[in-house]
Structure 1
Amino acid sequence: MIAAEVDGVSFFQFPNLVSFPELRHGVFTRNGGFSREPFKSLNLSLSVGDEERAIKHNRLLVSRCMDNGELVFTRQMHDADVVVVSGTDSLPFMGDALVCGLENRMLSIKIADCQSVLIYDPVRNVIANVHSGWRGSVKNVIGRTIEVMKEHFSCSPSDIFAGISPSLGPCCAEFINYRNEIPEQFWKYRHNENHFDFWQISIDQLCGAGVIPENIYSSGICTKCNTNLFFSYRGEKITGRFVSVIGMKRQS
């Protein structure tokens, strides 16, 4: 991934997405914000016990890094519901994926081990941000999101580019009770008896939906192994949530 920084706020970008000048995106680190321990410092979640004032300041920082675009959040449910963001929405959104064809809407997913999968169709000018934890992987929320893009915007999967954020890697994605939690069809992704490679699951689900493998970039960065950069629920329990953002800048 490509490291970037704006006014002391650091984030990473996907090599396969930075070439689109109309696109703004970033996977933000935990650094450069206002929150205090154990949420230090760029926590974006209002539901972990952090001070609301600090979170509002943090959200302003992220927005400034994204050309002052409007951050759009959803109440993440660890399910497979997809929300299409339009200009006449009623808040709050509830679902684990946001899809949008509007400018200046910065689709935002909060994570701390789960994946954010950023999706862009440059032909139809449609963006999506998917929250995919292990439950979302089992329910194939990624595939469902691409189906919604096809249904609502006539997107062709072969035009789509996707990036998989830093998240829990196969080194740390341990599921002791996997036989009761994870369907057998996913057991082929096991490593070291009870660890799972959810990065590869997401790659395969993207390809299964018709995305070209060359258009997919997986960060390969484990959040639990890099708590200096990212929040990790598995590694820290009481902690914040970093954010992944994608949007199209205003053209006029």
Structure 2
Amino acid sequence: MIDQPFSLFAPYADRICVALFTKEDAILSDTDAAKHLGLQKAAGLHQVHGGKTVVVQEAHNRTIQADGMLTDTRELLLAVRWADCQNFVMYAPAAHVAGVLHVGWRGLLASAIPAFFSVLQKKWGIPASEVLVGAGPSLCLACAEYANPGHELRKRVSSAYGRNCCIDLQRMAEDQLKSCGVLPKHTERHSDCTRCHRETYWTYRGGHREQVLAGKTNMLCCALLQEK
């Protein structure tokens, strides 16, 4: 487990817990992840590579079809699973609201990032400029290869994001965050690529396809702590 993987959240370590579970942890359930962190309640999603974000106030066992979650409930672990896709943890310190988001290439096309901030604004009135964003390990540019010119992503994405047969998914996400109003100084991206570091992370494109389909994934989690 990588505890507090983002220095951005270090000043708030007594208010929010952030953890990244990898291959070596062998964590399969959200509840197990919560217990590992000393928590009793966990919420997960039936991730569908779409654009929907939901507000959760209690434990859920992956029955809700969505890719993003937000909460203001203390000591409720939020968990998203991924094996190459982008994954984010977000925290609004002033309002003490947190969330997690899973964004694959389909999620980028489905505007999952703008939808997340739309829910945050509508539910709590929180502007994106007040939100801290940590991006977990995902495919780097060199590993995000989409060679088929007929691929939906290749057809719908600006050529500015392309380099040979690869698409810069990370820059696409970062541009969407900026368009939503997230400040560059409020974002931090983990430097690891899942495929380049296949010994550490489960990676669909890096040789773990069967294991990932069987349910073995990395997890990015967060939980609001009781305010002191």
Q: TM-score, normalised by structure 2?
A: 0.89
User: Is the 2:81–2:217 contact (alpha carbons within 8 Å) kept by the matching residues of 1?
Assistant: yes
Structure 1 partner of 2:42 = 71
User: Is the 2:59–2:76 contact (alpha carbons within 8 Å) kept by the matching residues of 1?
Assistant: no
Structure 2 partner of 1:186 = 158
Q: 2:21 aligns with which of 28, 32, 46?
A: 28
The 1:120/1:10 distance shift into structure 2, 3 A limit, reads closer
Residue 215 of structure 1 and its aligned partner are, at CA, apart by 0.3
Are 1:14 and 2:6 matched, yes or no? yes
The 1:86/1:235 distance shift into structure 2, 3 A limit, reads same
Q: Following superposition of structure 1 onto structure 2, how do residues 41-120 of structure 1 map, counting pairs within 5 Å? A: 42-44=26-28, 55=29, 59-60=31-32, 62-87=33-58, 92-120=63-91
Equivalent pairs, count: 221
Kindly provide the CA deviation profile for residues 182-202 of structure 1, in whole angstroms up to 9, marking residues without a partner as x: 1444331112x1111111111
Structure 2 partner of 1:246 = 222
Kindly provide the CA deviation profile for residues 39-74 of structure 1, in whole angstroms up to 9, marking residues without a partner as x: xxx142xxxxxxxxxx58xx42x2244332422100
Q: Following the alignment from structure 1 to structure 2, what is the Cα–Cα distance between the partners of residues 181 and 30?
A: 31
User: Is the 1:100–1:126 contact (alpha carbons within 8 Å) kept by the matching residues of 2?
Assistant: yes
User: Is the 1:26–1:245 contact (alpha carbons within 8 Å) kept by the matching residues of 2?
Assistant: yes
Q: 1:171 aligns with which of 125, 133, 142?
A: 142
Structure 2 SS opposite 1:207: helix
User: Is the 1:108–1:246 contact (alpha carbons within 8 Å) kept by the matching residues of 2?
Assistant: yes
- Could you list the runs of 4 or more consecutive aligned residues of structure 1 that deviate by over 4 angstroms after TM superposition? 9-12, 87-91
In structure 2, runs of 5+ residues without a counterpart are none
Are 1:214 and 2:207 matched, yes or no? no
In structure 1, runs of 5+ residues without a counterpart are 1-8, 33-41, 45-54
Structure 1 SS opposite 2:142: coil
Structure 2 partner of 1:139 = 110
The code of the aligned residue for 1:26 comes to A
Residue 247 of structure 1 and its aligned partner are, at CA, apart by 1.2
